[in-house]
Structure 1
Amino acid sequence: MLRLTDLKLPLDHDDAALPAAIIARLGIHADELTGFTVAKRSYDARRRGAIVLIYSVDVETPREADILQRLELDPEAAAAGEQGDGAAASGSGKVGASPDTSYRFVARARDAMPLRPLVIGTGPCGLFAALVLAQMGFRPIVLERGKAVRERTVDTFGLWRKKVLNPESNVQFGEGGAGTFSDGKLYSQISDKRHHGRKVLTEFVAAGAPDEILYVSKPHIGTFRLVSMVEHMRATIESLGGEIRFSSRVDDLLIDTDADGVRHIRGVTLAGGGEIRSDHVVMALGHSARDTFAMLHTRGVFLEAKPFSIGFRIEHPQSLVDAARFGPQAGHPLLGAADYKLVHHARNGRSVYSFCMCPGGTVVAAASEPGRVVTNGMSQYSRNERNANAAIVVGITPEDFQPYAPEGGPLAGIALQRHWESNAFALGGGEYEAPGQLVGDLLAGRASSAFGSVVPSYTPGVRLGDLSGALPEYAITAIREALPAFDRQLRGFAMHDALLTGVETRTSSPLRITRHADGQSLNTRGLFPAGEGAGYAGGILSAGVDGIKAAESVAMAMVAAGHARAA
């Protein structure tokens, strides 16, 4: 097939416009267009009131060979029309051969294996590692410290509604991982030359996601749909011979050192004392598995501190964001609730940026340890809640961790997180309410005493006051400078009544479990660190992709060990 990209049409074009544009661009007759599918649909909203849709389509035509030969002889024709007026350039677009995005397994397991691979964690990374291993016939055993997703949901609501935290079953821990209670965003900026992201999206559709995630530019699912999808994926893994064990926290590793001084994983020890033997273990930890990080450090697995970000959640009326981004076309069904992405480089050298923006969503309590407050954002598929929210965060580096862990080391970032999360718990009154402040009051340097037009969505509740002591001074200074700058990019962003809620500390893992190019730990053979907790992903899609890569690395290692045959 042919791939036609950058095909621009007005927002309200009729059904005949897209095939007409394809025919015009390719220079073929209507009866020579056998069929087409939309590979991607995005929009360009830089001109409010003149928003255009941008399509990439895969086209079937008996003229394919002729067209490709013509383009080979005249390469400039492949990009013809690219500079046309977006609102009317129905004939614009670039042409080439459609890429092959099909997934191919790297190996197949033998009928019998002396030991099965282990996967630790059932977030997106762990689920996809387990799924692909199961599809290749390796029958993985999956260990999850938390509960199955519906039981976990009950426990999570226990914090949100009753101020009761279960440290083993919450927004961070349990089937589906932290991504289950999120906006369900399925896009990423990772390099993906092997189209693993397509494999992730295809499996999600098979698990019940809407087909549109295969082609819209910023696909999302939402929490309620993710719950049933996670259950479907679990059933698929089990049907292929995999096994998933809940409430099975890994408390230790079994490690041998050979005559050459090389360390090898030999299995794990569970919290209840039982052992599971395995020579191949995928560590698909989330970014909040602090006790497991400490265990890995004690066991001598190579870890290193890495940068991450801290800040607040900010809430605005979704209608304000829609109007600022889309102007008179706000509310159009193809556009949905508007999002934003903002960056500011402050005078003190800090970068401030929006993160994990949740249109039409809610701010959620995301603590996983008693006596600490953590915020995150979540949306349902409909994105129809009153408020928009996003994290406004400041980048920090390992040099910033030293005041909280003078001894240094790879766990120093966790010490910083715990300090500010405990501080937020105290500022919020000690019952998992979060500290908050109106944007206008933060900028004016005064405490807030009453909510304005923005009603907080965070439960168990928000206690207003002064957030100037809720983060390091350099972070507050940078955020105060960034908010007016963001207002110049998105009108109304620094409105007085916009609400800040603290604190956001779990933007990414504070450390990296560093690995070789073959996916194995730098100093422990057979241990495959992967996903967000290991410092190699940031979000559902990239974590799923990294899980696939981990599964492939395990499969190839088992091939090398004689446990499998080449596909």
Structure 2
Amino acid sequence: MEVNKIYQGNCIDKLTELKSNSVDLIYFDPPFFTQKKHSLVTRDETKKYEFSDSWDSLDDYLDLIEACLKECKRVLKETGSVFLHCDKVASHYIRVTLDKVFGMKNFQSEIIWSYKRWSNSKKGLLNSHQNIYFYSKSKHFKFNQYYTNYAATTNIDQILQDRKKTNNKKQTTNNQKQYLRNMIKEIQLRVTLEEETQDDILLQKAVKKLRLSREEVSGIKVLRKSIDARNPLIVFNYKVAVYIGETVPETSDYQFDYKDVSNAKEIHIVGFGPAGMYAALRCIELGFKPVVLERGKKVQERRRDLRAINQEHFVNEDSNYCFGEGGAGTYSDGKLYTRSLKRGDVRRIFENLVYHGATEQILIDAHPHIGTNKLPKIVQNIRETIINYGGEVHFEARVTDFIIKNNAIQAIQLQDGRELTATRVILATGHSARDIFELLHKKEIALLAKSFAMGVRVEHPQEIIDNIQYHCTGERHELLPAAAYSLVHQVRDRGVYSFCMCPGGFIVPAATANGEVVVNGMSPSRRNNKFANSGIVVEINAEKDLHKYEHFGVLKGLEFQKDLERLAFTAGGRSQVAPAQRLTDFVEGKLSNDLNPTSYQPGLQSSPLHSLLPKTIGGRLRKGFAAFGEKMNGYYTHQANIVGVESRTSSPVNIPRKENLEHPQINGLFPCGEGGGYAGGIVSAAMDGERCAEAAIVGL
């Protein structure tokens, strides 16, 4: 069945078409057993509908209700719920039937839907309500809480209040005006750079916009902040909550329902990046024990291996900028901006980061980031939470094989020879775990070739980007952060675009093996380095651009990646020195006599990247850079370097999965995050980790 589509037909018939454990919530509104014929007329009185709610017996009616409920239970996820709507006629029988199908312990609540009658009756009390029963499939049900602020339209009759009589002896509220004024009002405010320095500027603007006195406003809470630098007059856009006669809440104390899972059933998680970390945390919330297997080292030990890459040009293939505690996200800008708003609860992901030590500013900024200097401590705190609540996190535990019997996961084999019994495995190894892709391919486990992107990283002096974006000369205003940019251009049916832009950041060596050069970017929390860098990459279409690699089958994109990274290694002098070129020389097709200063610590080697890169990448990059220079006056400059190669934007392989997030061929295997091809950044990976945890516990 398709989502966002209405299906009309018999309830039982349509339910049987749905897969088991596939639905989050069911609202069941069956006939009420009125034993009457009913007719309805549309509001414009153009159509009339009739239906019969007549039954041969109560038993027949309840048999149908029970049959429908059993199908509802079958299709619901383990975290799912059902709401059944009925009225006084058969509600007591239906409640017994619900207890029979779902169990008394899974009754969660009863909603009374109250409505007003048009008249009263001397004969007795009129029925003025209907019932909505709330049952869950299991104790692991998920309930999303939504709140609505007080507003001028709030129904005063639903608020407890004092009452008095008017001169006409009619009942009225004693303080209706007060209730209308006691509210939280969300508004948008614009503040210039000059105004930003003024005390209480948000309060001043709020009372003026709402036509209130200062005394009426208890306080203001900033909900969202962004910068509008499209025009020379730069302004901050604020979304604020204005508390009118209400107490402003103090800093929130974010709490998560973590349980002691020391003796609970185990879920094995391979990889401890964002997807793996959030999968483990979610398992604990759901009452299951996560056992995390990470090939790399703890954050503190990982730093030594990063130093060896930068200074000695030696790559530890299990501990580097990609592998180790926190994954590639630990040593990145910590960018939290995502467009994947439909994949999960973004706010929940942010709040969990705040719970583990991130600043609350990430809840406010339109483009939030944490910073590579702060991420390691947050990642360490997440690990401690997992261990404190009974989970396990094993480092230097590289997975080398999966034991599979009857198309189901039975055990995991580690590099040190250990074999761990495992029936549910969340595979969250990241986009650079090539050995995992090769292992699955060797075991003839289904994989798919996936389109991805590769290119170079461009580095400008940060002041140039600031001058372009903020319409200034010299240093930017002290209240403005290091400027960022986002660029895209179509060249011969392929996108050329900026990726992982790091204002005030560094270029870092992101190779995962010796004999290859890969570059990436990262920024500290203050973004105060003198350089700005960004990946500029070209879309690689797996079906159209890799004909020379077809003999590699589904791993053709992976092999293309390898060849480009080996080429960069050779061009740089067979070390972690990276091949580079002035931006203008690259576009004009000539070797650079010298290079600009750089943040890339291992060093740069002038190389003819214009001829070394495959035409499908190099040719499009040259046209793309020229177009970017027209969009951002000053961007195309000899003061910028391009550095090769940016090749790990996303996975070139997709590990398929069914609607229940399980691999279609191997029961108990749940591909997850960037490595599976289901995420593209910290937040989307974290959300996918939570979803995989919720899927993996079903049936345990």
How much does 1:338 deviate? Answer: 0.2
Deviations 1:101-140 (A, max 9, x none): x9987x9898854x41011111111111112212333121
1:11 equivalent in alignment to 2:193: yes
* Structure 1: distance between partners of 2:486 and 2:448: 29
> In structure 2, do the counterparts of structure 1 residues 34 and 518 end up closer, same or farther at CA, with 3 Å as the change threshold?
farther
1:331 corresponding residue in structure 2: 476
1:302 equivalent in alignment to 2:446: yes
1:57 equivalent in alignment to 2:199: no
1:127 corresponding residue in structure 2: 277
1:486 equivalent in alignment to 2:639: no
The TM-score with structure 2 as length reference comes to 0.70
Q: 2:384 aligns with which of 219, 231, 235?
A: 235
1:505 equivalent in alignment to 2:641: no
1:456 corresponding residue in structure 2: 598
> In structure 2, do the counterparts of structure 1 residues 174 and 45 end up closer, same or farther at CA, with 3 Å as the change threshold?
same
User: What number of residue pairs does the alignment pair up?
Assistant: 511
> In structure 2, do the counterparts of structure 1 residues 53 and 271 end up closer, same or farther at CA, with 3 Å as the change threshold?
same
Q: Does the residue aligned with 1:533 lie in a helix, a strand or coil?
A: helix
For 1:440, the aligned partner's letter is T
Deviations 1:467-511 (A, max 9, x none): 023321122111111112111222221102310110111011111
* Structure 1: distance between partners of 2:562 and 2:548: 9
1:37 equivalent in alignment to 2:221: yes
Q: Is the 8 A contact 1:109 1:136 kept in 2?
A: no
Q: Is the 8 A contact 2:679 2:685 kept in 1?
A: yes
The within-5 A match list for 1:118-517 is 118-192=268-342, 194=344, 196-257=345-406, 263-328=407-472, 331-346=476-491, 348-400=492-544, 402-451=546-595, 454-517=596-659
1:23 equivalent in alignment to 2:207: yes
Consecutive unaligned residues of structure 1, counting only runs of 5 or more, are 65-101, 258-262, 562-567
Q: Is the 8 A contact 1:470 1:503 kept in 2?
A: no
Q: Which structure exhibits the higher relative contact order, with contacts defined as CA atoms closer than 8 Å and separated by 6 or more residues?
A: 1
Q: Does the residue aligned with 2:470 lie in a helix, a strand or coil?
A: helix
* Structure 2: distance between partners of 1:12 and 1:522: 59
> In structure 2, do the counterparts of structure 1 residues 160 and 524 end up closer, same or farther at CA, with 3 Å as the change threshold?
same
* Structure 2: distance between partners of 1:54 and 1:301: 50
> In structure 2, do the counterparts of structure 1 residues 104 and 361 end up closer, same or farther at CA, with 3 Å as the change threshold?
closer
> In structure 2, do the counterparts of structure 1 residues 296 and 193 end up closer, same or farther at CA, with 3 Å as the change threshold?
closer
For 2:499, the aligned partner's letter is F
Q: Does the residue aligned with 1:411 lie in a helix, a strand or coil?
A: helix
Percentage of identical aligned residues: 39
Q: Is the 8 A contact 2:261 2:389 kept in 1?
A: no
Consecutive unaligned residues of structure 2, counting only runs of 5 or more, are 1-148, 150-183, 248-253
The TM-score with structure 1 as length reference comes to 0.85
| CA root-mean-square deviation | 2.4
* Structure 2: distance between partners of 1:155 and 1:228: 18
2:665 corresponding residue in structure 1: 523
Q: Is the 8 A contact 1:44 1:54 kept in 2?
A: yes
* Structure 2: distance between partners of 1:325 and 1:119: 43
* Structure 2: distance between partners of 1:463 and 1:111: 53
Q: Is the 8 A contact 1:3 1:56 kept in 2?
A: no
Q: Is the 8 A contact 2:433 2:675 kept in 1?
A: yes
Q: Does the residue aligned with 1:122 lie in a helix, a strand or coil?
A: coil
Q: Is the 8 A contact 1:282 1:530 kept in 2?
A: yes
Q: Does the residue aligned with 2:266 lie in a helix, a strand or coil?
A: coil
Deviations 1:135-182 (A, max 9, x none): 333121100001111111110110111111111111111111011121
Q: Is the 8 A contact 1:373 1:434 kept in 2?
A: yes
* Structure 1: distance between partners of 2:688 and 2:662: 13
How much does 1:23 deviate? Answer: 3.2
For 1:16, the aligned partner's letter is D
Q: Which moved more, 1:522-531 or 1:27-36?
A: 27-36
For 1:204, the aligned partner's letter is L
2:680 corresponding residue in structure 1: 538
For 1:374, the aligned partner's letter is V
The within-5 A match list for 1:71-86 is none
